[in-house]
Structure 1
Amino acid sequence: MTELQPYKISVPEDALKDLQQRLALTKLPAQLESDKQDLWDFGTPVKDVHRLVEYWKNGFDWRKAEAKLNELPQFQTQIEVDGFGSLNIHYVHQINTNKNAIPLLFSHGWPGSFIEVTKLLPLLKGDENSPAFHIVAPSLPNFGFSSGVTRRGFGLAQYAEVLNKLMLKLGYDQYVTQGGDWGFWITRVIGWLYPQHCHASHINMVLSRPPKFASNPWLALRHTLLPYSSREKQGIERSEWFAREGFGYNKLQSTKPQTIGTALEDSPAALLSWIYEKLHDWTDSYPWTDDEILTWISIYWFSAAGPSASARIYYESMHACPINGKSLEEMLGYLPHVKLGIAHLPREITIVPSSWAAVLGDVVRESEHASGGHFAAWEVPHVIAEDLQAMFRRDGPCYRAVTGRDGY
């Protein structure tokens, strides 16, 4: 397949029957007891796993969820990756009727998927007062309905290569990006490797380090002399909590992904418990419905490469060779040529002070919000949409950042 082909999700009946059989044989652990009311301290409570397993088995209608997902404008195409051959890439592509619409590449992370872009689509169509966007939201390789890669060495440079080549294949020689979680890293690597194509980026997860006098003297002075705001103090506390209590999954997936992969591949209950913990802990009291939870997790269960494949991005990224001579840590340095928008959300898993964020590049918009967590495009899509509109509107700092496309 070399052309761009329409795509509809169609999970085989045998896969649905296999899921039912596995759910029927679920064996759950005993619940650790606690004097505290919140059993989430131990991980996903057994009662929640039991409820969701029973609903997944006896009530949840995948075909209904599948039909809803198939309302999205989905496509697939082949992308050749240097050293890894041709990969089948699935993507959502909302083409705007406005010929001046700005091409926007949306990159999800783990444990998200292309579904996260759903709520953004109607908000970014544009009108006489706000810019219009063409939106491309791929399933990353090893995720969703894109091909998996089992050969060692498929790291962030390759993910960036796939997404950049996809945008070029769609006719978008210049574009802008939006991302969180692995989308932060992948869109950042795109900015480093392909600045002639990527002209601006918006992120809703911010990873950075304190500024140093040797490289950022003015920022370092500001960081040294000015006290943290209440938002920044609370953010540091949240980041410390995550490093202390919520980082275990990362250590395992970045060192021994095959080990946890066996559980995720074999047991839908294990996959459910593993992912639902993050949906709970990483959001800002978002009112997840059981149908939402099981749709998110079913995308992993029915994914083209299997539920375990997505864990490999952690290992490959941590063990990758330098990208254009830069280590992963150096990727957090000042990125020239790409204008940067940043959203600070109070229940993100890592939250940094503004002086740290400024180290990343030419920050043209920085917004602070009273609510929202890790899955911002799903939890608070208006936040992402408003930031993008502010960046690219007529009086915004990124107006006409993409040559020949002003969004109006």
Structure 2
Amino acid sequence: MGTLLRITFVVLAIVVGFGVHRYQKITSSAPIPELNDAEYWGPGSAAKYKENAAIKAFDISAKPELIEDLKSQLSRPLVLPEPLEGIGFQYGFNSKYLKKVVTYWRDFYLPKWGERETFLKQFPHFETQLQGLRVHFIHVKPKSTEGKKVLPLLLIHGWPGSVREFYRLIPLLTKPNLNSEYVFEVIAPSLPGYGWSQGASKVNFGPAQVSLVLRNLMLRLGHEKFLIQGGDWGSIIGANIVTLSPQNVLGYHSNMCSAHHQMLPFYKSLRTWFPSFFINEENKNFFKPFGEELSYIIEESGYMHIQASKPDTIGSTLTQNPVGLAAYILEKFSTWTNPAYRKLEDGGLTKRFTLDELLDNVMIYYTTNSITTSQRLYSEGFNFAQMGLNLDATHITVPTGCARFIHDLFHLTDFELSLKFKNILHSSYYKEGGHFAAMEVPQTLYSDFVEFVDKVFAKPQPKQ
């Protein structure tokens, strides 16, 4: 019996030792992948390309004939099937309300297009060439600093958003605030392939490669070090900038912090089994049981599977199809703002936004014909080449801030995020707001970001 116990002990020790070794190996930081930060992504041969580093003012005006054609398209008879009885947005965009949106777009929004275009031009717009691509960006410097320290900030949007998401946030960031000693110089680019930025002509232009282009944009503007804020793709691309170029980032803040580490399922299981160890009682509503969360993600990610596999097919159905484009984009501004809005015939769209705000965003996609190129980011973001970089295995030690808005698509605890983010200085929870926080609750997002920045630059207190 003694021998059997000794053998059992030795076997258990070996198993535990192997498990610990394996865990340490999996959770240790992988080296930073080496990527070519000058790789050419434009059309044709790189050998014939000579980059123009000039920064030029950019006119975002749409061609008048395009607007006239849009009016004609919206004036065609709109034949849509009736929605099922008692159904709001559960089956997608409600056709009854879609007719109302089209009517407003045609009869009220487009007649004041000049006014809307002037509104979109309120911030300075620029363009420059980077790695074969024409990149558009908004660049707003504080007009008055009043003794505040000016910090450069890269604002990164996602899909199906655009720089339009930041129009209520930018004024807050660029005006001195009594509650903070900092004010921000904001650079908000249109992601390559989105809006006024040129899309790549080559394959494998994924989030990692986009992050290098945006890093290079900041360097061209003279910012060797800068802050980052983003949600959706902006969160992923921002994290990639930190991963690949940590020496350039002062701090990273996101309203959709995420990690895709191979140990994440195990960590989430621990949270499910022992919730009180990882979630404060007041924040438990932010985290769904595993089965409920999985069901919700599957239900809401159908678009992602299509765009990750056949972006050009779905893009072709939406190109020069304004009604379809509006339905496809605006449906996300309903469900992702608050899943309860699915029960409403109007999708609750005007509970948090105005139709003018929402149509501004649709118009950016429509007038730039960028829906297909925007969707290709999903295909390039989930292919073997991109996943093979394993960026989530490389630790981030740059100061990190994570703001969670309750109605966003998912949330991770600090424990789960710690698989990648090793310096979370700021972690917050808000019981109002959803996926498009910059557009929906700009004041809350601004206050959270400033609180994070204050922590990043806090002076160490002298020891007592």
Q: TM-score range by the shorter chain?
A: 0.7 to 0.9
Q: Secondary structure at the match of 1:185?
A: helix
- Structure with greater helix percent: 2
Correspondence for 1:101: 150
Aligned to 2:456: 397
1:138 maps to: 189
Q: 1:267 to 1:333 in 2, by over 3 A?
A: same
> What's 1:405 paired with?
none
Residue 332 of structure 1: aligned partner: 392
Q: Which residue of 2 aligns with 1:41?
A: 90
Residue 446 (structure 2) aligns with = 385
TM-score by length of 1: 0.87
Q: Does residue 425 of structure 2 align to residue 369 of structure 1?
A: no
1:144: how far off?
Answer: 1.0
Which one of the candidate residues 229, 235, 241 is aligned to 2:287?
A: 235
Q: Evaluate the alpha carbon distance shift between residue 26 and residue 109 of structure 1 in structure 2; reply closer, same or farther with a 3 A threshold.
A: farther
1:115 aligns with 2:164: yes
1:204 paired residue number: 255
Give 3-state SS (helix, strand or coil) of 1:337's partner. Answer: coil
Residues 164 and 360 in structure 2, CA contact (< 8 A), matched pair in contact too: no
Which structure 2 segments of 5+ residues have no match?
1-51, 339-347
What's 1:262 paired with?
316
Counterpart pick for 2:307 among 253, 264, 276? 253
- CA RMSD, Structure 1 to Structure 2 (Å): 2.7
Alpha-carbon separation, structure 1, partners of 2:272 and 2:288: 14
* CA pair 333-376 structure 1, distance change in 2 beyond 3 A: farther
| Correspondence 1:6-405 to 2 at 5 A | 6-25=57-76, 27-34=78-85, 36=86, 38-60=87-109, 61-80=112-131, 86-96=132-142, 97-98=144-145, 100-124=149-173, 125-127=175-177, 129-130=179-180, 131-208=182-259, 212=263, 225-227=274-276, 228=279, 229=281, 231-236=283-288, 239-284=293-338, 286-303=351-368, 305-319=369-383, 321-322=385-386, 326-327=389-390, 331-333=391-393, 335-361=395-421, 362-393=423-454, 396-399=455-458
Q: Which whole-Å CA distance do the structure 1 matches of 2:318 and 2:269 have between them?
A: 44
1:132-187 per-position Cα deviation (integer Å, ceiling 9, x unaligned) = 11111000111111112232221112210111011001100001100100001100
Aligned residue type for 2:166: V
Preserved contact between residue 256 and residue 411 of structure 2 (Cα < 8 Å): yes
- Count of residue correspondences: 385
Q: Deviations over 1:264-311 (max 9, x none)?
A: 1131111001011101111146432221221110111012x5332211
Structure 1 residue runs of 4+, over 4 Å off?
209-213, 219-226
State the Cα deviation string for residues 363-407 of structure 1 (Å, max 9, x = none): 1000111100000111111222112211222xx234489xxxxxx
Q: Which of 1 and 2 has greater Rg?
A: 2
Corresponding residue SS for 2:246: coil
- Rounded to whole Å, the distance in 1 between the matches of 2:430 and 2:458 is 23
Amino acid at match of 1:88: R
Distance 1:310 1:354 in 2: 31
Q: Structure 1 regions of 5+ residues with no counterpart?
A: 81-85, 402-408
Query: Alignment partner of 1:202: what SS?
Result: strand
